[in-house]
Structure 1
């Protein structure tokens, strides 16, 4: 067969139809591995059977080495596949692809879940930070407003707690003469300790409850009903958490409170003589008063604010703020502006105080009662009316309104201002 394996160039090893090997390509010892069937023709055939490691494919390899008379040697390779094995192989290939796709999908899902968890952690952390800033905005507002109106608060307590009968100017002169200027700020530190967390929780709870209710109802904007409900719930929440400090402050201001030795002494005295739960004396009237008080206070302010923002002047102001966003300071970024914030806050505070003041009088009287002569809220109310008539339920209303008007105005102004400074986001 030498005439079939003629090569033009000994370096060309590949020709169509098979692999042609030059006699010098492999050593003679390689061909001695294949037994010859005939001495005249250097031809031998070797068959190799193999099975795929992951399939049932049968491969039959037949090597034929044909020798010629010195022209070269020819190595042919024949492959055959069992048809059924081939189908199995294709089936395995499809299964492999499906497994790969499932693995990729699982990997993608795990990565998305990991990203979602990371986002959730970030959101949770951001929510905690935002809540802290929100609480601080309310606390600072309470500190500033209460310190500013502390003298008026002191006058109100003199009328309610001590049953003061002198007119306002006589009382001011008496305090200034006996205690000096600092006498008007007596108990202010304790008042701040009570009021700061109370107002912080109150403001934060109201914003949170209102936004939650709005989303639950599917409304784009809060309704008046949602505002009043949120305000009432916020007042109850703050009362439950902060009433003990209010009780201690009342005891300190009451006759003989100076001898108790400050906050710690008053706290020890109350718990020792009347038990821990005496710190919650007046809880029922407090809740009864704070629920409508919070509803009116926040509801009236939000109604006035919404009415202005929907007016042509208000929409013009908002549009101007959007255009000049980068060049405005914190006061200029107030939606209502400083003056309207003060005005609407004062109106809301006045409405709230006037509507719930009798509950305040009853609560203070309950806090001063000792365990031996303690009466319930209804009996206390009847006793007050019997002793002084219905006007007794409004004793101290004038100095209280004088205190509430600036207090509510300043607290709302500082609160809105601090939310802008601290960049508080809506809950």
Structure 2
């Protein structure tokens, strides 16, 4: 029980750290991907629009993710041989993302609408509930999962592989700063590969209620973006996304490992 608490707290600290530190980059990426275009979506004005929703949601989102991720890893270690490590990490990441998205998606909906308009997070939340109900807050849930699961399929097995390789090379477990470098590299690769899915998810969340895009079809969104802007449209915002996730991966996974070490030594083994 105490280990689960440590995992949740460490994950929450990691999520808060990266989301607050890199929020302006995320805003730029969202506006680049907006159907309205970067300037009409706000340009560089109000670069912290939507931050309150992230502050409220990032801690539980990351906490849920790592509890599920580490839980599946522990269960899998009992039944799977070491050769199946990549499959175990992919499965753990998928379960983690599915759980975390229960919190992440409403936060993303409010955050991205605030980033692409000039309304506050509270105004966006009230208007969404008034016009669309709870269903509106979960618009894009499947498109988010379809983005996050392939991303995690790439990032987390790479992160674990890089850490394992580095640990083997130096004959002792990696330090938190080394884990952060592994996380940055893994995140950069995963971010570039999954940008079209991120564009589709953004378009769905920002679409007007009742429009074809608001139905949540990831394939329809991808086809629409490609028809309008070709490959450039599918990779809109790829540079800030890769930059955000490269730096974010370093902070997120580095802070997670460091916080888990500190919390474990104080809560589980204080002696």
1:215–1:264 Cα change, 3 Å: same
Pairing 1:132–2:11 present: no
3-state DSSP of counterpart to 1:245 = helix
CA distance in 2, matches of 1:203, 1:391: 34
More strand by share: 1
1:217-256 deviation digits (Å, cap 9, x = unpaired)? 3x3686111111211221122113431121111222222x
- Who is 1:152 aligned against? 25
Alignment match, 1:373: 211
Residue of structure 2 equivalent to 1:413: 254
**Aligned partners of 1:366 and 1:269: how far apart in 2?**
17
The one of 153, 168, 186 equivalent to 2:49 is 186
Does the 8 A contact of 1:286 with 1:363 survive in 2?
A: yes
1:253 aligns with 2:111: no
Structure 1, unaligned runs of 5 or more: 1-126, 319-334
Instruction: Show the 5 A alignment for 1:17-416.
Output: 127=1, 129-161=2-34, 162-164=36-38, 175=44, 179=45, 183-217=46-80, 219=81, 223-255=85-117, 257-258=118-119, 262-311=120-169, 313=170, 315=171, 318=172, 335-375=173-213, 376-416=217-257
Q: Check the 8 A contact 1:143/1:192 in 2, yes or no.
A: yes
SS in 2 for 1:389: helix
Q: Provide the residue aligned with 1:21 in structure 2.
A: none
TM-score normalized with structure 1 length:
0.57
Q: Kindly provide the CA deviation profile for residues 85-129 of structure 1, in whole angstroms up to 9, marking residues without a partner as x.
A: xxxxxxxxxxxxxxxxxxxxxxxxxxxxxxxxxxxxxxxxxx1x3
> Which secondary structure state, in structure 1, belongs to the residue aligned with residue 37 of structure 2?
coil
More helix by share: 2
Using the TM superposition, give the Cα deviation of residue 304 of structure 1 relative to its aligned residue in structure 2, in angstroms.
0.8
Q: Note if contact 2:49-2:111 (Cα within 8 Å) is conserved in structure 1.
A: no
Cα distance change of structure 1 residues 145 and 367 upon mapping to structure 2, 3 Å threshold: same
Over the aligned positions, Cα root-mean-square deviation in angstroms equals: 2.4
Deviation at 1:269, TM superposition (A): 0.9
Computing the radius of gyration from Cα coordinates, the structure with the larger value is: 1
Distance 2:134 2:51 in 1: 24
**Structure ranking higher on relative contact order (CA contacts 8 Å, 6+ apart):** 2
Unpaired stretches in structure 2, ≥5 consecutive residues: none
Contact between 1:231 and 1:296, CA under 8 Å: does it hold in 2?
no
Shift in alpha-carbon separation, 1:382–1:210, aligned structure 2, 3 A: same
- Aligned residues of 1:297 and 1:348 also touching (Cα < 8 A): yes
Is the Cα–Cα contact under 8 Å of residues 343 and 409 in structure 1 kept in the other structure?
yes
TM score, norm. by length of structure 2:
0.88
**How many residue pairs are counted as aligned between the two chains?**
262
Retained in 1: the 8 A contact 2:50–2:112? no
